[in-house]
Amino acid sequence: MERWSWPSGGAWLLVAARALLQLRRADLRLGRPLLAALALLAALDWLCQRLLPVPVALAVLAATGWITLSRLARPPRLPVATRAVLITGCDTGFGKEAVKKLDAMGFMVLATVLDLDSPGALELRACCSSRLKLLQMNLMKPEDISRVLEFTKAHTTSTGLWGLVNNAGLNDIVADVELSPVATFRKCMEVNFFGVLELTKGLLPLLRRSKGRIVTMGSPAGDMPYPCLAAYGTSKAAIVLLTDLFGSELIPWGIKVSVIQPGCFKTESVMNVKLWEQRKQLLLANLPRELLQAYGEDYIEHLHRQFLNSLGKALPDLSPVTDAITDALLAAHPRRRYYPGRGVGLMYFIHYYLPESLRRRFLQTFFISPCLPRALQPGQPGLTLSQGATEGTQT
């Protein structure tokens, strides 16, 4: 073992010097990824000492450490200078926090809110610089979108528009597809797809001129069959596909396009238990009698209880998402996909590589556990033929 100490120590000295230099330049973060990488290097060192000749072991350890630190390093970033960015949905959550971060970095931020007098809008006015421009916009109203487009064109003539962050989104129901009104699907599509499409298309001339960035907030619910998020997930699947199309078609223009697929975070809208309760009561009040008999009120209560329980796993720190937005706007080579949030990588691994039955069980275990509708529970008479025919005509 003694004959290995000097070569091994030399390789570790090289790795340590590179890591310290990157930490000093803020190209590297002292966190779990770095500690995990160092632990793996230590395991590799142990193997090399036992299996390889000294020169080969030294080369393997040094090269692996160098490559690992290169992969962990933050990509080079563009200067902020006088860049202008439009962010939608800034009343709460990711949008509000992104505005604060980008404003502090020196961006000229145009932020849209549903209500100019909302608590979030008032907070942004109080804590941000005079560069911030707050705009009222509802993505379901074409006149609002047109007004924001005209304002953006008029107020970015000197700076140009560098980035568009499509953050605004809507999810207002937790229910099976059959229990969700078609109007809810249309409403989600109007906000999460058609509104984003109209705004993005309207800003493309400005973004083409600046060779800028488009950043769109997606959701894992758009990639996986999350129980009871059908309307929301379907609209997110549509907008992510559209964003990928933009990403391919705008390459010749120099526009870079990214999608952020965040895990569950404690935003104000997500954690508003009172609002979810109101939406549940509205669903129960408007559900056709035959469907309510078939599924039962207990079934819907169970779904909402499980959904609210799942929010207990939400992360309070929104910085992974705002960091992803910043990187997508400023990295010289931004990623096409960002997956901020604990466990999101594992979730996608399970979704892509494990059998369908295990994927479904995973989502049920960590999101909403299964519950039998009333008509399928033991001892229940089940659906009559006339009831089944009636429900078939409604769906």
State whether 68 and 89 are in the same domain.
Answer: no
Task: Please tell me the predicted confidence (pLDDT) of residue 124.
Answer: 97
Structural domains of the chain, count: 2
pLDDT in tens, 87-108: 999 999 999 999 999 999 999 9
State whether 49 and 90 are in the same domain.
Answer: no
Nearest of 274, 287, 169 to residue 229 by alpha carbon: 169
Handedness of CA 82, 83, 89, 90 (dihedral sign): negative
Q: With respect to residue 301, please indicate whether it lies within any of the assigned structural domains.
A: no
State whether 88 and 119 are in the same domain.
Answer: yes
State whether 45 and 170 are in the same domain.
Answer: no
State whether 55 and 204 are in the same domain.
Answer: no
State whether 252 and 139 are in the same domain.
Answer: yes
State whether 190 and 332 are in the same domain.
Answer: yes
**pLDDT > 70: percent of the chain:** 91
Q: With respect to residue 39, please indicate whether it lies within any of the assigned structural domains.
A: yes
Q: With respect to residue 293, please indicate whether it lies within any of the assigned structural domains.
A: no
State whether 114 and 60 are in the same domain.
Answer: no
Q: With respect to residue 78, please indicate whether it lies within any of the assigned structural domains.
A: no
Task: Please tell me the predicted confidence (pLDDT) of residue 83.
Answer: 93
**How far is the C-alpha of 47 from the C-alpha of 175, rounded, in Å?**
53
Q: With respect to residue 212, please indicate whether it lies within any of the assigned structural domains.
A: yes
Angstrom distances, CA of residue 88 to CA of 49, 107, 167, 236, 270: 55, 15, 5, 16, 17
Active site includes 339? no
Q: Which two tokens stand for residue 254?
A: 């120099």
Q: With respect to residue 345, please indicate whether it lies within any of the assigned structural domains.
A: yes
Helices 32-51, 54-72: inter-axial angle, 10-degree rounding: 170
DSSP per-residue letters across 77-140: B---TT-EEEE---SSHHHHHHHHHHHHHT-EEEEEES-TTSHHHHHHHHHS-TT-EEEE--TT
Please tell me whether residue 243 adopts helix, strand or coil conformation: helix
Question: Which residue positions in the chain have pLDDT lower than 50?
Answer: 1-6, 384-395
Please tell me whether residue 46 adopts helix, strand or coil conformation: helix
State whether 89 and 62 are in the same domain.
Answer: no
State whether 16 and 131 are in the same domain.
Answer: no
Task: Please tell me the predicted confidence (pLDDT) of residue 4.
Answer: 44
pLDDT in tens, 257-279: 999 999 999 998 888 889 999 99
State whether 164 and 261 are in the same domain.
Answer: yes
Task: Please tell me the predicted confidence (pLDDT) of residue 169.
Answer: 95
Q: Which of 226, 232, 295, 299 is catalytic?
A: 232
Q: With respect to residue 93, please indicate whether it lies within any of the assigned structural domains.
A: yes
The CATH number of whichever domain residue 255 belongs to comes to 3.40.50.720
Domain region containing 243: 84-271+314-353
Can you list the positions of beta strands (E) in the chain?
84-87, 108-113, 133-136, 163-166, 213-217, 256-260, 337-338
**How far is the C-alpha of 333 from the C-alpha of 97, rounded, in Å?**
23
State whether 33 and 175 are in the same domain.
Answer: no
Contacting residues for 389 by C-beta, under 8 A, at least 6 apart: none
Task: Please tell me the predicted confidence (pLDDT) of residue 74.
Answer: 67
Task: Please tell me the predicted confidence (pLDDT) of residue 8.
Answer: 65
Angstrom distances, CA of residue 394 to CA of 28, 95, 337: 57, 39, 39
Q: Which two tokens stand for residue 94?
A: 């990711």
Q: With respect to residue 191, please indicate whether it lies within any of the assigned structural domains.
A: yes
